Structure 1
Amino acid sequence: MIVDVVIFMIGLTVLSWSADRFVYGASALAGNLGISPMIIGLTIVAMGSSAPEIMVSFTASFSGNPDTAVGNAIGSNITNIALVLGVTALFKPMLVASSTLKREMPMLVAATLLGIYFLADQKLTRTEGIILLVGFFAAIFAVCWLSMHADKKDKLEQEISQELDLNVDTPKALFWLVVGMILLPLSAQYMVGSAVNIAKFFGMSDLVIGLTIIAIGTSLPELAASVASMRKGEDDMALGNIIGSNIFNILAVLAMPGLIAPGIIDANAAGRDSYAMLGLTLLLVLFSFNFRGQRRINRWQGGMLLALFVLYQIILIGW
């Protein structure tokens, strides 16, 4: 048991570090190829935030644990909104100024509803996995289109340009890109294997281990990135990381069990957990569009999200 916990922590650390190196190398390489910072920020950085979840979902599905993969997709979205956004807003109220982010909100809601629809019959088919993956590439295209047609004075573009380190020569960028691509799947494999052993020790289901330990673990980089962005006054970038990651979690992460291990899934994923994810997603949209005044996610709203996260964890443990 202790060995599995140590392996899990090491795997999680390497997973997070390799995802960061992947983003660093891919972003720098894209910058050297003349791709705009806005597109890099909304695609490569967002995909990099979801890279741990994608690798874990792929590994879990390939190992015959599709419920863990499904739980990781749903649990990561719940954690990103309720824990990451909740803690970040408690740290400092978030001003939602970017018009680009407001245009991404409908994409997030649509992706969430599509995922819930596919899970409603308590199974994931290979066809549904393909549709989700096609939706993933369509979302990338849509985000690129939004980036190219965004207002050059959009606050998000200014924040991304300031944050990204694109002054890296191509050989160095390629080196870190390859390092990230190698270590991501390796660390995910060890992390999933140890997590399954931990779950069996405590009598937890594959779904719950994906919803809790793995989801929280793979969302820690988003938490660190969001708090760091808020400390720099980059409110829109903090929120953009969460929105982009959640879109890709549904379309790419949830596609893995459908593509690799199609079949029956835990009924709780189709009911309890899907509706918790939908409810929190709608709260995120509601908080971001304050119709009575300035669009700001305040501390009391962050506290509410964090309380809902704690309540959800209690429900999972006692279910």
Structure 2
Amino acid sequence: MFGSLALVVVGLIVLVVASDRVVVSAVRISLSLGVSTVLIGALIVGLGTSIPELLVSSIAAAQGSLDVAAANVVGSNAANVTLVLGAAALMAPVAVGGAILRRETPLMLAAVAALAVVIFDDRVSRIEAGGLLVGLVIALGLLILWSRGNPPEVDEDEETVASRPAVEFVYGLIGIAATVAGAKVLLDGALDIGARLDWPATFLGLLLGVGTSLPELATAVAAARRKESDLILGNVIGSNIFNSLAVAGTAGLVGPGLLADFDGVAIWGMLAAVGIAAAAMVTGRKISRLEGLLLLGVFVGLALGTL
């Protein structure tokens, strides 16, 4: 038990330190390349922190557990827009720019809707999985296209470091890798403690789903401390796009088949969570602390519904 507690503490420390480094590097890369922080958040941070979901879902599908892969993607999407976004907004209100509402947010909604359509019939074919991956290519192309007309404002304090994109890119990748590693160490420790205390299997499954969203959560909280709203939104939007299209698409290609034990109610829960988060973005062009608390409440409700 002591060893497991030590893993939890070490994992948490690594998460906090590494996620802060990811945020710093992401902001500096966006400045040096002259592209929006939203794009960096979506492409580098959002996709990078979704690596746990990709690994878990792909391995599960390859072993014939496509249900687990689907549940992981659906649960992670819901956690991103409730737990991750809610925790960040609770620390500091998240400002939502008009461009994000017109472009990136609808793109995320389309990706999540595409995922829902594919898994609603309780099966995933390789053709459907390929369609999701084609959608990913289109989504990434649109994100890159949109970023060109929205360069970030350069802060004088960042000018001296903004000219080192290659160095910051390496630091950022190391930070993402450390964040993912820290999340795994923390999750392993927590799961071992749960097994020793004989926690219900459903609760352990929920813990696994939340665990794969820990990199997004840690990065969003670090970004909230630095008032980087665009990075928070880019992280969540990019992660949900990547989960819905890349992770689900890859899992479907690796192990297509029936979702015999998948609870379809979870799909409606994911859609409701994403819809509530989108509504919170629209109201007042920001996600307030009260709305952040509401999102966390939605997450708790979804979690209790799985028990």
TM range (shorter): 0.7 to 0.9
**Is contact 2:84–2:220 with CA below 8 Å preserved after alignment?**
yes
Deviation at residue 35 of structure 1 after TM alignment: 4.9
Deviation at residue 46 of structure 1 after TM alignment: 2.1
Amino acid at match of 1:230: A
Show the 5 A alignment for 1:178-217.
Answer: 204=201, 212-217=206-211
| TM-score where L is the length of structure 2 | 0.77
Following the alignment from structure 1 to structure 2, what is the Cα–Cα distance between the partners of residues 176 and 236? 17
Over the matched positions of the two proteins, sequence identity in percent amounts to: 30
Gaps of 5+ in 2: none
Q: Does 1:244 find its partner at 2:238?
A: yes
Q: 1:158 to 1:45 in 2, by over 3 A?
A: farther
Following the alignment from structure 1 to structure 2, what is the Cα–Cα distance between the partners of residues 298 and 119? 33
Following the alignment from structure 2 to structure 1, what is the Cα–Cα distance between the partners of residues 35 and 126? 35
Which residue of 278, 287, 312 maps to 2:302? Answer: 312
Deviation at residue 204 of structure 1 after TM alignment: 3.2
- Greater Cα shift, 66-75 or 88-97: 88-97
Following the alignment from structure 2 to structure 1, what is the Cα–Cα distance between the partners of residues 278 and 260? 28
- Greater Cα shift, 68-77 or 165-174: 165-174
Deviation at residue 63 of structure 1 after TM alignment: 3.1
Q: Does 1:226 find its partner at 2:220?
A: yes
Following the alignment from structure 1 to structure 2, what is the Cα–Cα distance between the partners of residues 140 and 99? 16
| Residue aligned with 2:237, SS | helix
Following the alignment from structure 2 to structure 1, what is the Cα–Cα distance between the partners of residues 10 and 131? 31
Deviation at residue 128 of structure 1 after TM alignment: 1.1
| Residue aligned with 1:254, SS | helix
Q: Does 1:285 find its partner at 2:278?
A: yes
What corresponds to 1:298 in structure 2? 288
Amino acid at match of 2:250: M
Following the alignment from structure 1 to structure 2, what is the Cα–Cα distance between the partners of residues 176 and 120? 37
Following the alignment from structure 1 to structure 2, what is the Cα–Cα distance between the partners of residues 56 and 45? 18
Deviation at residue 236 of structure 1 after TM alignment: 2.5
Q: 1:314 to 1:182 in 2, by over 3 A?
A: closer
Following the alignment from structure 1 to structure 2, what is the Cα–Cα distance between the partners of residues 94 and 218? 23
Following the alignment from structure 1 to structure 2, what is the Cα–Cα distance between the partners of residues 241 and 161? 25
**Is contact 2:66–2:251 with CA below 8 Å preserved after alignment?**
yes
Show the 5 A alignment for 1:153-172.
Answer: 157-158=152-153, 168=164
Gaps of 5+ in 1: none
Deviation at residue 313 of structure 1 after TM alignment: 1.2
Q: CA deviation digits over 1:131-171, x for unaligned, max 9?
A: 11111111110100111133x4xxxx348998897655858
Deviation at residue 37 of structure 1 after TM alignment: 3.8
Deviation at residue 176 of structure 1 after TM alignment: 8.1
Deviation at residue 268 of structure 1 after TM alignment: 4.0
Instruction: Output the aligned Cα RMSD.
Output: 4.4
| TM-score where L is the length of structure 1 | 0.74
- Greater Cα shift, 129-138 or 44-53: 44-53
Following the alignment from structure 1 to structure 2, what is the Cα–Cα distance between the partners of residues 134 and 56? 22
Q: 1:311 to 1:169 in 2, by over 3 A?
A: closer
Q: Which runs of 4+ in 1 moved over 4 A?
A: 2-17, 19-24, 159-185
